Structure 1
């Protein structure tokens, strides 16, 4: 297992069923503000929500080592150790979903439930990997993430009715460190297909998709649901790639249903 970076930033609220939420690229844990506010429930006992900044993002150091989502998944296991948590529901959106899948592969005994939002279990096509390397090389060469803003990363992740969120997402994108952006792009490019991981899971699982997601088509959600023995699919109408931000009430309702299934 890799060593957890010495500086780690985690947002936490509530008590109850442990729920780890892993953010999208190239954002940070602040994207989960609506979930940190609502998911603990009116009495504060629905869930203990932990939202870490992944390596290099937000307040967490990048650390050392070659780019690998396995390293980030191991960070989650070490975070659970530090929090005194044996098993947790682990969920992620987009890149966070890739990390959740890596966690399910590497630490299945620590998994109480799985949440996969706006993500895919298939590996990148060659053209996608090449584009990730283009971005990684460019941001490092320029020591700037302006390329992501120029290519409208924020707007491209949002549905047609979510224009009011563009400024908020742009701010998170602009705050990303070039080294973290490059590391994460190369880690995502190197990830393995995970449909075999899903087929072997026996924990409650929720798959959430945005009807208007232009980055991950609904066919990817269907693939995951077909591979999962115990999955519930939620497709949120009118929503793009950042469903937790765009439709927090509908997203949170899907998570609450998952938590209820985990609690039995």
Structure 2
């Protein structure tokens, strides 16, 4: 089944396609749409099954999610874009680089890892997928995934941000979350795609991120021929939500430089 993604599409200029984290939706990019649309065309899709997008009946696959995004870009007339992804969105962005390299003008990776899951993480994903299917609720996500999504600074000092993230997690459709967990558990390593990347990249990581660490971000940046690494202070896994101004400034500077060089 061909899935047609729902996407929010605002602003004009160099296209910036931002792919959301698990287990959220494009609603997480509110501060980016508000902060970047004056300078860029900001496209924020809901990945299949999340937000306004249907799940379809394909087997779980990050590659299928990447193909969905490529079809969306073709449908809305985006021939090349700065592609950014956080967490799950980062895995999809790396798959786009491998499967649809001509689409990618520049790459932004945040809170992502290029390696495959270690056995314990993979087992947790599959166990949670089973719980999601069995319970039909997002309880396991709230209990087990939510606590690691934001850093301790956000948990202590940004109650509104934490509450918003919790609400987004609670709203996640269980079937979509189970499908995505299985897709992530089965994803291949992405170091080959990163080493072959022929466009500039920006790697971002929150200094309080325990899911995708600063050390892992450095390994990714080192694998990319032309990459810059930026550590965002007082942020955990969802650095774009926890420190939106710092995230937006970094992405705007990166995308504007690409636009100036005409790459």
Q: Which TM class, normalised by the smaller chain length?
A: over 0.9
Structure 1 partner of 2:92: 99
Which position in structure 1 is the counterpart of 2:171?
A: 175
Q: Is 1:160–2:184 an aligned residue pair?
A: no
Residues 155-196 of structure 1 show CA distances to partners (whole Å, capped at 9, x for unaligned) of 321111212222111111111111101100000011111111
Q: 1:12 aligns with which of 9, 14, 19?
A: 9
**Which residue in the other structure is 1:148 paired with?**
141
Query: Deviations along 1:1-22, whole A, 9 cap, x unmatched?
Result: x7234xx321121000011100
State how far apart, in whole Å, the 2-side matches of 1:260 and 1:176 are.
34
Contact in 2 for aligned 1:204/1:261 (Cα 8 Å): no
1:223 equivalent in structure 2: 219
Which segments of 5 or more consecutive residues in structure 2 lack a partner in the other structure? none
Determine the C-alpha separation between the residues in 2 that align with 1:252 and 1:230: 20
- TM-score, with length taken from structure 1: 0.94
Residue 188 (structure 2) pairs with residue 192 (structure 1): yes
CA distance in 2, matches of 1:149, 1:199: 36
Output the CA distance in 1 between the equivalents of 2:91 and 2:138. Answer: 22
| Alpha carbons 2:154, 2:234 under 8 Å: kept | no
Shift of 1:32: 0.2
Q: Is the 8 A contact 1:118 1:209 kept in 2?
A: yes
Distance 1:258 1:82 in 2: 26
Structure 2 distance, partners of 1:150, 1:84, is: 40
Secondary structure, counterpart of 1:226 in structure 2: helix
Matches within 5 A, 1:28-43: 28-41=25-38
**Equivalent residues of 1:155, 1:166 under 8 A apart:** no
Look up the match of 1:51: 44
Structure 1 stretches of 4+ moved >6 Å: none
Q: How far 1:154 moved relative to its partner?
A: 2.4
Alpha carbons 2:240, 2:247 under 8 Å: kept:
yes
Matches of 1:73 and 1:67, distance apart in 2: 12
Structure 1: stretches of 5+ with no match in the other structure: none
Q: CA deviation at 1:230?
A: 1.0
Indicate the SS of the match to 2:220: helix
Distance (whole Å) between structure 2 residues aligned to residue 156 and residue 118 of structure 1: 12
**Preserved CA contact (<8 Å) 2:151 2:209:** yes
Matches within 5 A, 1:127-146: 127-146=120-139
Tell me the equivalent position of 1:119. 112
Q: CA deviation at 1:219?
A: 1.1
| Number of residue pairs matched by the alignment | 256
1:110 corresponds to which residue?
Answer: 103
